[in-house]
Amino acid sequence: MQGEQSSRTVQSVQTTIDIVEHLREVGEAGVTDLAAALDHSKGTTHSHLATLLENEYVVRNGDRYGLSLKFLDFGEYVKSQLEIYDVVAEELDDLAAETGEVAQFATEEHGRAVYLYKAHGNQAVNTASSVSKREYIHCISLGKAMLAQFPEERVDEIVDRHGLPAKTSNTITERDELAAELQEIRERGYAVDDEEMIEGIRCVAAPITNDGVVGAISISGPSSRMAGERFEETLPSKLLRSANVIEINAKFS
């Protein structure tokens, strides 16, 4: 299936996508640097940049190019289509304030977790996540909470496509182990990340459903605070309460 999809791609469109994604990574770049980084000729690179500039998808600063705010229009539009967003944001702000930790919301797209909202409590520590970032779904509590709600066939599709790469020594890297973990999540109602993505950071997450899996919410913090009864009972209880509030409010929003 992957090969069939690849054979149908249009190379010129792929080149434009490569340029856009590279500019997102580096911020700004000139024609020569872009051509070298993407292994394209300077002529081809310049033509694509000129087209993007003409259509206001990039801005030019001297001999360097960067993405324009036009992409913000697309992001805001896509976010607005997720009707549950405002309900989630309000509840996560309250959850972060109550727990003092980081509260987050993510959804699944193309087999990856996409962070859509992040709230900080007064004791919150910085994590590697940020709004719009995509992450492997098997190594974070948000992802596992969603995976546990998917049919087995969908889980297999995601693992076939992305694998189970290790982020830390605690990351699940075997299919059987993941299947067992997902069954535990279904039974207890929430997922945990025991330093599986970042050493020293633990998370708990619960799925958000509304005629299907909408996404998941989580609480993250340092392992020193995410321990004992607080990690095993107190925070999961608060999280499940918030998930329930979101699901109820979403039905009437």
My answer on whether 95 and 67 are in the same domain is no
Residue with tokens 């997450």: 205
Residues 164-187 as b/e (b if ≥16 CB within 10 A, e otherwise) read beebeeebbeeeeebeebbeebee
| Contact status, residue 119 vs residue 104, Cβ threshold 8 Å | yes
My answer on whether 163 and 52 are in the same domain is no
Task: Please state the separation of Cα 196 from the chain's center in Å.
Answer: 15
Task: Please state the separation of Cα 107 from the chain's center in Å.
Answer: 7
My answer on whether 136 and 223 are in the same domain is yes
From first to last of its 253 residues, the chain has per-residue pLDDT tens of 444 445 577 888 999 999 999 999 999 999 999 999 999 999 999 999 999 999 999 999 999 999 999 998 888 888 877 878 889 999 999 999 999 999 999 999 999 999 999 999 999 888 878 888 999 999 999 999 999 999 999 999 999 999 999 999 999 999 999 999 999 999 999 999 999 999 999 999 999 998 889 999 999 999 999 999 999 999 999 999 999 999 998 887 6
My answer on whether 178 and 118 are in the same domain is yes
- What is the structure's pLDDT at 7? 56
Q: Identify residue 67 by its one-letter amino acid code.
A: L
Range of 195's domain?
82-252
Provide the 8-state DSSP code for 234.
I
My answer on whether 188 and 92 are in the same domain is yes
My answer on whether 97 and 130 are in the same domain is yes
My answer on whether 122 and 180 are in the same domain is yes
Dihedral (CA of 49, 50, 56, 62) sign: positive
Task: Please state the separation of Cα 203 from the chain's center in Å.
Answer: 15
Among candidate residues 19, 47, 73, the one where a domain is terminated: 73
My answer on whether 113 and 210 are in the same domain is yes
> How many domains, in total, are found in the chain?
2
My answer on whether 154 and 183 are in the same domain is yes
